[in-house]
Amino acid sequence: MTALDQLFAKVRAENRAALIAYIPAGFPSQAGCHRVIEAFIAGGVDAIEIGYPYSDPVMDGPTIQAAAVTSLANGTGAAEVLAALKFASASVPAVVMTYWNPIERFGVAEFAKAIATNGGSGVITPDLTIEESAGWIKATKESSINPIYVVAPSTKHERLVQVTSKCGGFIYAASLMGVTGARASVSSSAAELVARVRKTSDLPVAVGLGVSTREQAKGVAAFADGVIVGSAFIKALQDAPSEEAGLLAVTELARELAKGVREGR
């Protein structure tokens, strides 16, 4: 059982959702990323996703793309991603979110082992299909980490059954068709998607894409096991006049979102 598995058992016993925060490794700087992680934890975040910055993302909106550009310019590679993961996992359950290409370049079995060695609970792979997952599933089992896949409102029932049967830790439910980004409201299709997923699996379901406020977190926490927030935190850092001000904004936003997930039920 990973630290992530233990977290979801804990929040389920507390009858609430988990707050999961996303930050790309190396953003806003290598040291700054670690300070953001500290701000997340100070604000009450339950788990952290470390993003592996990638030059050709398919799921990332403009806010996260801009952060990835900064991260890559800061020299972020596998070593920096794993260092951020290790730093985060010392305090809360942590996973890496990455496209498949960096895993393949690193070595599939080696990457899974490196995640476990650095305290990580698992990996979210948004562009890896089930049909191409045999080697990855084998590697995650050998390293005892969670393979986390993404499902969307367009995913048909037969496909949901296939995908959710291969997941571990939680199932990532994308709240809408499109890319990441803070939005004025969370798509109504999110609740429907979670309900559909629950018919195929007993695993926790976490919703991402669009959550940016306490009220939105509260709304999603009413039907999901986890609330994932990324763009709103990154935007707070990008809009701040200084890194110090950005960190204060991140802590305050985390506190508000943490209240939201506790108010959902």
The predicted model scores a pTM of 0.93
What's the CA gap between 255 and 119, in Å, rounded? 25
pLDDT the model gives residue 226: 98
Say whether pLDDT at 181 is over 70: no
What pLDDT, in 10s, does the model give residues 58-71? 666 788 889 999 99
In a domain, 142, yes or no: yes
Residue 248's pLDDT band (cuts 50, 70, 90): very high
In a domain, 4, yes or no: no
Catalytic one of 5, 46, 49, 80: 49
Q: Is 46 a known active-site residue?
A: no
In a domain, 8, yes or no: no
pLDDT the model gives residue 59: 64
Domains held by the chain: number: 1
Catalytic one of 46, 60, 80, 225: 60
Average pLDDT, the chain: 93
The enclosing domain of 51 has a CATH number of 3.20.20.70
Say whether pLDDT at 179 is over 60: no
In a domain, 248, yes or no: yes
What's the CA gap between 165 and 172, in Å, rounded? 13
Q: Is 60 a known active-site residue?
A: yes
pLDDT the model gives residue 178: 41
Length reported for the chain: 265
Q: Which domain holds residue 205?
A: 17-263
In a domain, 3, yes or no: no
Residue 57's pLDDT band (cuts 50, 70, 90): low
Residue 183's pLDDT band (cuts 50, 70, 90): very low
In a domain, 222, yes or no: yes
Average pLDDT over residues 233-262: 97
In a domain, 12, yes or no: no
